[in-house]
Amino acid sequence: MGVSIPVDAREAVVRLLLAGERVMDVVERTGVSESTVYRLRARLGDMCRPADCDYDSRYLNLLERREIARMHDLGLSQRQIAKQLGRSPSTICRELRRHWHAQFDAYLPEFAHHQAWQNQRRPKPSKISLHRRLREWVQARLNERLSPEQISGRLPIMYPKDEQMRISTESIYQSIYVYPRGELKRELTATLRTGRTRRRARGTRRSADTRIPGLVSIHDRDAEVEGRLVPGHHEGDLIKGSTASNSAVGTIVERQTGYVSLLHLPHGWSSDQVVQAAAEQFRVLPGFFAKSLTWDRGTEMSHHARLTQDTGVKVYFADPYRPQQRGTNENTNGLLREYLPKGADLSVYSRADLDAIAGQLNDRPRKRLGFYTPREVFTKLLREDQEKHAGVATTP
């Protein structure tokens, strides 16, 4: 978003910020709005600290650092040092940890003061711009449509012993949105899953309320379903295409693992067609993984009793206008819109196309799974189930 103020006013704001002036002082001296000054300061790296400016009193000064070194050499504890200086014990703890000189195995106050000064100066080059291997790995995961949070969480799993291959979610977002960095910014933004040029909250969609014969409310589900205590309980819905095409794709996602299955509906989405496609999908899943399905109030599931009869899967229905009751499915449908955009003719997608899309989602690391993928967790559960039954079969 641009900052539309006269050039001379913008130059005055930048000059004062670079001189170390506080935001409110800049607002008072230039007459520019507070929000505009903050946006300009963000472009400069948020904190401007010229070489000749003094520390704020809330930071440790050189005299205090010399006292820390003296008392630490005398054997005083961190709490005793903090009490003598009128500082928090955590301040002393962080100071010693951050600025301990590894070569001399000691706390050197002049070295610590210089290092603290350098660490506070802004703007700094981002970690992602300094480390090529990390940048290429992040770029590759963005190309695979992983979110910054998933990328950050996956790194310790993929590189458990390489501390250089670490980056926080916020650092990735900062590199994309806050600090313009030419080609790097363009490359990262182009492959961000949402394609947005700025951060914003995502909306939700509403579900219609209809009358369905033999409807069983979501409130009648077992406690194990609500708490994601055991696998096999799913949420489902339709993603609809353009009005002209009258096309749709069924989405089913397992609540504990996030494992996604897509229903191919090439000839329409009447209740008969949706129930038949859902039954075919549940039949290929292992028994422990096909126990219940929670749907919205759409008429496409009005023949739910037949689904239960054919597969043993119990069907429950969410309350009207409560998409949050099927939050796992709603979130998944939002991800699927990257592949199946609104207003598109969904009938052009083949069974193989839908399997490939579901495969990509099932190979995405998820935060609530400890950044393992739904496929990895499902495979682990399947192996445990097979071992369990094998043990029962061999018991005399």
| pLDDT 10s digits, 248-297 | 999 999 999 999 999 999 888 999 999 999 999 999 999 999 999 999 99
Q: Which of 155, 157, 180, 179 is nearest to 167 (CA)?
A: 155
Q: Give domain status of residue 212, yes or no.
A: no
Please report how the helices 62-73 and 89-99 are oriented relative to each other, as an axis angle in degrees rounded to 10.
90
Q: Give domain status of residue 237, yes or no.
A: yes
One domain, residues 300 and 367: yes
Q: Give domain status of residue 323, yes or no.
A: yes
DSSP per position, 16-49: HHHTT--HHHHHHHH---HHHHHHHHHHTTS---
Instruction: Report which DSSP code applies to 217.
Output: B
One domain, residues 152 and 260: no
Torsion angle, alpha carbons of 10, 12, 14, 19, to 10: -170
Q: Which of 101, 120, 139 is the last residue of a domain?
A: 120
One domain, residues 173 and 255: no
Contact, 375 vs 387, CB < 8 A? no
Q: Give domain status of residue 79, yes or no.
A: yes
Angle made by CA atoms 183, 184, 189, in degrees to the nearest 5: 100
**Domain residues for 295?**
218-381
Q: Give domain status of residue 44, yes or no.
A: no
Contact, 298 vs 208, CB < 8 A? yes
One domain, residues 368 and 223: yes
Task: State how far the Cα of 55 lies from the Cα of 274, in Å rounded to an integer.
Answer: 67
Torsion angle, alpha carbons of 273, 277, 279, 283, to 10: 160
Q: Which of 174, 191, 208 is the last residue of a domain?
A: 191
Instruction: Report which DSSP code applies to 211.
Output: -
One domain, residues 241 and 151: no
Residue 370: beta bridge partners?
none
CATH number at residue 353: 3.30.420.10
Q: Give domain status of residue 13, yes or no.
A: no
At 362, list the tokens.
Answer: 């099932």
User: Is the Cα dihedral 171, 177, 179, 185 positive or negative?
Assistant: positive
One domain, residues 243 and 318: yes
pLDDT tens string for the chain (396 positions)?
A: 444 677 788 888 888 877 777 788 888 888 888 888 887 776 665 555 555 556 667 889 889 999 999 999 999 999 999 999 999 999 999 999 999 988 888 899 988 988 888 777 665 677 887 888 998 998 888 888 888 899 999 999 999 999 899 999 888 877 765 544 444 455 555 556 555 555 554 443 444 444 789 999 998 888 888 878 899 999 999 999 888 888 999 999 999 999 999 999 988 899 999 999 999 999 999 999 999 999 999 889 999 999 999 999 999 999 988 888 999 999 999 999 999 998 899 999 999 999 999 999 999 999 999 999 999 999 999 999 998 877 655 544
Residue 261 Cα distances to 104, 161, 181, angstroms: 59, 35, 39
Q: Which of 140, 173, 191 is the last residue of a domain?
A: 191
One domain, residues 281 and 148: no
Q: Give domain status of residue 9, yes or no.
A: no
Name the H helices within 284-367.
304-311, 327-336, 351-362
One domain, residues 116 and 132: no
At 308, list the tokens.
Answer: 């239960």
Q: Give domain status of residue 19, yes or no.
A: no
Task: State how far the Cα of 27 lies from the Cα of 6, in Å rounded to an integer.
Answer: 15
One domain, residues 139 and 103: no
One domain, residues 234 and 295: yes
Q: How many domains in the chain?
A: 3
One domain, residues 263 and 184: no
One domain, residues 325 and 349: yes
